[in-house]
A and B are shown apart, each in its own frame.
Chain A
Amino acid sequence: EAGVTQFPSHSVIEKGQTVTLRCDPISGHDNLYWYRRVMGKEIKFLLHFVKESKQDESGMPNNRFLAERTGGTYSTLKVQPAELEDSGVYFCASSQASGNTIYFGEGSWLTVV
């Protein structure tokens, strides 16, 4: 069974550009999460989807970040325009509807220069 898949694995963009990260959760997982680790800091929660609905987006840092999960399958996280402080690793994770174990992807490493 495929795990949580994230694309791209690495991305280098210039300040002011746009980047879109994609996450494919484990098949059948209703819950999808985005987390972020900025250099030297702890992993922080960004938001939580249940199917296509945003359950909790209280961790989104500002309105330059937009997450979508159309159809309740894969999700995208767009950063527009990117700033230097957005550099870090963006993790996607998923879990079953009634599950308490969250499975993480390998992360998308974003560098803004």
Chain B
Amino acid sequence: AQSVTQLGSHVSVSEGALVLLRCNYSSSVPPYLFWYVQYPNQGLQLLLKYTTGATLVKGINGFEAEFKKSETSFHLTKPSAHMSDAAEYFCAVSGNGNNRLAFGKGNQVVVIP
């Protein structure tokens, strides 16, 4: 079985500052890892994913995440926050070849001008 831990339900970041959202996972098989974003009044949109290969993955809107097996982590970063980054972010994991996703509780990101 897989599970995800996201700490800090609400995260405030100043415009232009680093965005760092932490994700730790548990998986009994090699994981596939995902970050999804939900903008206000919209559905879940895939930001980026890790399946195999390069451990640093780049996604849309300047976000990237690094898979660290030794730390069972997949933290999401963006060097400079923009007002449009205000949204809820979800980390998710699935087992290798199993498309059932287990989600974290989400981080509501607020960007302060």
- A interface residues with partner B (beta carbon < 8 Å): 4, 31, 33, 35, 41-45, 48, 56, 91, 93, 95, 100-107
What 0/1 readout, one digit per residue, does chain B (62-105) give for beta carbons within 8 Å of chain A? Answer: 00000000000000000000000000001010100001111111
A104 CA to B102 CA in the complex, in Å?
Answer: 14
Most buried by A among B44, B45, B104: B44
**A42 B100 Cβ-Cβ under 8 A:** no
**A100 B94 Cβ-Cβ under 8 A:** yes
**B99 A100 Cβ-Cβ under 8 A:** yes
A107 CA to B42 CA in the complex, in Å?
Answer: 8
**Chain A, Cβ-Cβ closest to B6:** A42
A103 CA to B92 CA in the complex, in Å?
Answer: 13
**Chain A, Cβ-Cβ closest to B94:** A100
A19 CA to B61 CA in the complex, in Å?
Answer: 37
A79 CA to B32 CA in the complex, in Å?
Answer: 31
**B106 A102 Cβ-Cβ under 8 A:** no
CB within 8 Å of A: which B42-61 residues: 42-46, 49, 51
A55 CA to B108 CA in the complex, in Å?
Answer: 32
A42-B106, A45-B101, A56-B100 known; A104 vs B44 contact (CB < 8 Å): yes
